Structure 1
């Protein structure tokens, strides 16, 4: 018979109760702490953490507008913008495949394969003991040493409670050590401490800026077909899943581009109208509110600068979310404001006319070897500029490759003593005031005249001439005598009435005013010198607009360079209209001056090489000695010719000026500039279908021919 089973009491022992209570208390504390933490995160710090989380995933991306085009009067492109990419490589994703990638892409980038291979290699740098002061002075072991995340004294003793450290925006005291997992600023000693060992790998190596979309397509196509040891179709058979994934990432992301497209400004005609168009370049700007420094591409000269705000457009922006790899989550876009593209500018300039002018200026540079040659073609009735150019010139696609002197628009920036072309103003003013007539006879003193003890000379020993002949023969003495009749104030008033001494208002930067001596500072002989184009300076554009006023019945016009601004749909936003500045001469007096200028362009005048044959031309030569060290040089001249045709109903005015032509090859305005005027006029008339005035004349002769140096044509 089995022994009876004894049932013991299940009462817990005291020590077991204590354990259970302790465990319960610990669980309670743990759950209470967890609950408090949850309340702290979800309630107390909710807004703060929400803002922090949103800052990590939400981004505001700017949308760049397309910069407007610049077109000529017939719609031909002079400047346009094309989207481009900034292409970079990730050497980590490329791994050890630099040779294959360099072999595929070097021909596209047009760089040596070895150089591209070198740039694709990962660059790993290790920084040790990176302790520096705020002024950039490196601290040595005699000052502070960072070891294993602690700040130690030079002897190895641990600093305690010595420094105040600013970590993540909170000031703390290092009772035991100052760790360096993140940069710390020791405020008392102004020391910046970073990790002892910092490993840096270049994962963003820029390979090329301003890459056109067609070239980017070539790059992506070459990477998609990149061969790595075997044909693409065999990789699935012979490579592991991991190896296939590496190759896939390499082809897709090893070579990449910035998410926001940039723009490149293209000038398809290279140097054509470069001084009118200007160029673009990088400008660094600092936001006054945020202090953020940005670099933007903006207009730096010409119309690109003057119309920058109109051409540039208005940026748009997009609020969106990004994923873990920085890619946009399109479905989570919150708000988007599209960019407003810039306006297109349509100029009064005609590209074909510009080409005609510039080829003649190039020919002048080749034949007479001057410092510069400049010219303009405009419509006298409206002030519309059809062509404007200077030599030397530059390619606005690559402005940095040209010297600074080549960037200058000499038609508006430089000012010169105009010489004999200025006689139009002084003689015309005397006619307008009724102080002389075309038939009045003036004694030109056989080529030499002492006025108030100072000699004034003509190029030839001229005798008694009518006022008309004074203009035709370009007599300095006759012109001075006529100009002096106006008196100093009267002459000065007419000079300023023609716009000299003030900007014309052309839409180009850096326009000079020219130089006029205030009438109160004139001495006894200034009036005689100003009457012949000395002791005053003017820009070529000022001179062109003044003579255009003579051709336009005495009305001075404002120069027009921009005809209109259009939006992307071709809707006209702004339209320019001809603007009369003032009436300077009476119409009948302007007609009288035109008659004298017609005589200049004859075999008896100084500009016989400007005769057009099919058309009656009117104009004036100019040959001004340049000031060198305060004295008029007999070796350096500013030579010019300004004229218009048909003389009685002008369609075009053309001004050609040459700075310091080589004297041995010719220096008179009638030798150097008049032939170029003739060729520009005939070629322009042929292009514009200007109706001939006569049935018999000379055909278009092309470029200017070498002049006969024996002619007296000033």
Structure 2
């Protein structure tokens, strides 16, 4: 029997055999214990020691604070008709890194967006360090859904709002427009931007690895929608003024035109129109010149529409009455080397006749009898050279030289409307003061926003001026085409040369009419300014006065203003035919 057999049989231990089962078990237990201890330590580190760090890292990847967009306030006209509304749209954005990780999907994404794939990829590469990049903004919900349905990782949507203007070009210059971020850029959208904008809210959300929101966690800040704005504008009068001004612009082939209609008792602007206009729903198709609100930004010399203020200063001085005589023969005279002339030899006129015939000679001679400071104070008190304080963005103050600096020739030319300049809104404000018995109101574009006016001339003198202005629209005056059937009208024409470098442009004029209705108790004032009429006529009585007639004929019906003169001389339906010769002067005292 061998030694090995003897050991096995006797079950003697073999020193060459490995550790016993007990030792192996002990080793396994120890190893498992160490592993468990390691896991416990790691868990403690993750859950206690470094909890804040890892939680922040997780939140940074999946928990986001996002903006809650709010709609801009609606702009209404005075009758509650919407003029500017916000409509919901969708904007698409992407995490560039996520999209680039699936660059094989970029061609499909580019095709859906209507862009070049190479340009889109390059744009994403250039912004790869960001987590948010707009792909396309202000899309229709259906168009955005078509892109999202491609289920491309990293592409998401965001709700936004886009401004829509139902009346388009008709109200463009009053309202202005907003940019792609829905912020006011021009007009009343800019003036009342803070009121209309509101304040976006904020909330925390959990997003999945594709950027999709899967849960709303909590509300950080409640959204505050923009507040509505009710304007003084009457959209019916606005459209009427736009339509009639457009017809005049076409008929006389003029370069531009403006019209302002005001409520004389409150200073509320009921209509303000400029041509050429633009579509605020498609700003990209317009030019800066088209977007300019000429009624508040463009100045012109008022010409003969300034003569009533010269006559008021004369009456206020006590040196003149409505019947004081003045000789305008022979239709011209020379003052310090400057020739001042009328369109005809009107001979002997009274003060009223100077207004009726629009005599430059009469107005200049009357002006020269006045104290310059007193005349300046009257012009200034009616708002010339001052801002109207309407609050409209970009409004200019015009220019009226200081009275102490007037020399005789300056005083004479200011007397018939040259040597200073105004805006259409300023002229409307001044005539509204005449219409309201000598009380000046600051214009407002907000319904009910008018403030108490300030008396600037005595009621007696103001009444006398209105009676003089009524003669202008008779067959013996310069604007019978301004008449409105069954209503008395008072107003004044003006035809002023357009200033240019070194003097005046040859053959170019501003055609102006400023009037009020009904003259017995004025409710409305309208000012029309047409620039550079090239065809048929350029006189204010033939170009602008008929626009006043047509707009006001509709306005008194729409506003239910009762007639005050059923015997008014009238030539037929609508405005009198401006192409027919008018009795008396037809030039409104155009300066040489």
Alpha-carbon RMSD across the aligned residues, in angstroms, is 3.9
Superposition deviation, residue 51 in structure 1: 2.2
- The aligned counterpart of 2:139 is 211
Deviates more, 1:441-450 or 1:350-359: 441-450
Counterpart selection for 1:707 from 572, 579, 582 = 579
- The aligned counterpart of 1:41 is 46
Q: Does the C-alpha gap of structure 1 residues 316 and 520 become closer, same or farther in structure 2, counting only changes over 3 Å?
A: same
- The aligned counterpart of 2:178 is 280
- The aligned counterpart of 1:196 is none
Whether 2:88 is the aligned partner of 1:83: answer yes
Counterpart selection for 1:665 from 536, 541, 564 = 536
Partner Cα distance (2:154, 2:209) in 1 = 18
Partner Cα distance (1:97, 1:124) in 2 = 8
Q: What are the residue-to-residue correspondences of 1:316-327 with 2, within 5 Å? A: 316-327=201-212
Where structure 2 has 5 or more consecutive residues not aligned to the other structure, the ranges are none
Counterpart selection for 2:561 from 679, 686, 690 = 690
- The aligned counterpart of 2:414 is 530
Question: Is the CA contact 1:375–1:657 (under 8 Å) kept in the aligned structure 2?
Answer: yes
Partner Cα distance (1:68, 1:262) in 2 = 14
Q: What are the residue-to-residue correspondences of 1:410-425 with 2, within 5 Å? A: 410-425=294-309
Question: Is the CA contact 2:323–2:351 (under 8 Å) kept in the aligned structure 1?
Answer: yes
Counterpart selection for 2:497 from 625, 633, 637 = 625
Counterpart selection for 1:678 from 549, 569, 592 = 549
Whether 2:367 is the aligned partner of 1:483: answer yes
Whether 2:75 is the aligned partner of 1:70: answer yes
Partner Cα distance (1:630, 1:64) in 2 = 54
Superposition deviation, residue 406 in structure 1: 1.0
Partner Cα distance (1:577, 1:492) in 2 = 27
Counterpart selection for 1:59 from 55, 58, 64 = 64
Whether 2:520 is the aligned partner of 1:635: answer no
Question: Is the CA contact 2:93–2:158 (under 8 Å) kept in the aligned structure 1?
Answer: no
* Structure having the larger proportion of residues in strand: 1
Q: What are the residue-to-residue correspondences of 1:582-593 with 2, within 5 Å? A: 582-593=454-465
Question: Is the CA contact 2:484–2:575 (under 8 Å) kept in the aligned structure 1?
Answer: no
Partner Cα distance (2:175, 2:477) in 1 = 38
Deviates more, 1:337-346 or 1:535-544: 337-346
Q: Does the C-alpha gap of structure 1 residues 423 and 96 become closer, same or farther in structure 2, counting only changes over 3 Å?
A: closer
* SS in structure 1 of the partner of residue 183 of structure 2: strand
What does the per-residue CA deviation read over 1:144-170, in whole Å, with 9 as the maximum and x for residues that have no partner? Answer: xxxxxxxxxxxxxxxxxxxxxxxxxxx
Partner Cα distance (2:509, 2:119) in 1 = 61
Counterpart selection for 2:10 from 2, 6, 11 = 6
Superposition deviation, residue 500 in structure 1: 1.2
Deviates more, 1:694-703 or 1:645-654: 694-703
Question: Is the CA contact 2:63–2:207 (under 8 Å) kept in the aligned structure 1?
Answer: yes
Superposition deviation, residue 577 in structure 1: 3.6
Superposition deviation, residue 3 in structure 1: 6.5
Partner Cα distance (1:352, 1:126) in 2 = 51
Superposition deviation, residue 710 in structure 1: 7.2
Deviates more, 1:602-611 or 1:454-463: 454-463
TM-score, reference length from structure 1: 0.72
Q: Does the C-alpha gap of structure 1 residues 678 and 256 become closer, same or farther in structure 2, counting only changes over 3 Å?
A: farther
- The aligned counterpart of 2:235 is 351
Question: Is the CA contact 1:679–1:701 (under 8 Å) kept in the aligned structure 2?
Answer: no
Q: What are the residue-to-residue correspondences of 1:554-565 with 2, within 5 Å? A: 554-563=438-447
- The total of aligned residue pairs comes to 572
* SS in structure 1 of the partner of residue 170 of structure 2: coil
Partner Cα distance (1:373, 1:639) in 2 = 9
Partner Cα distance (1:318, 1:485) in 2 = 74
Partner Cα distance (1:260, 1:486) in 2 = 69
Partner Cα distance (1:624, 1:121) in 2 = 59
* SS in structure 1 of the partner of residue 300 of structure 2: coil
- The aligned counterpart of 1:260 is 158
TM-score, reference length from structure 2: 0.86
Question: Is the CA contact 1:440–1:467 (under 8 Å) kept in the aligned structure 2?
Answer: yes
What does the per-residue CA deviation read over 1:643-699, in whole Å, with 9 as the maximum and x for residues that have no partner? Answer: 11110101211111111111x521111111111111111122222222122345559
Partner Cα distance (1:514, 1:451) in 2 = 26
Question: Is the CA contact 1:93–1:253 (under 8 Å) kept in the aligned structure 2?
Answer: no
Question: Is the CA contact 1:597–1:619 (under 8 Å) kept in the aligned structure 2?
Answer: yes
* SS in structure 2 of the partner of residue 79 of structure 1: strand
Question: Is the CA contact 2:156–2:211 (under 8 Å) kept in the aligned structure 1?
Answer: no
- The aligned counterpart of 1:391 is 275
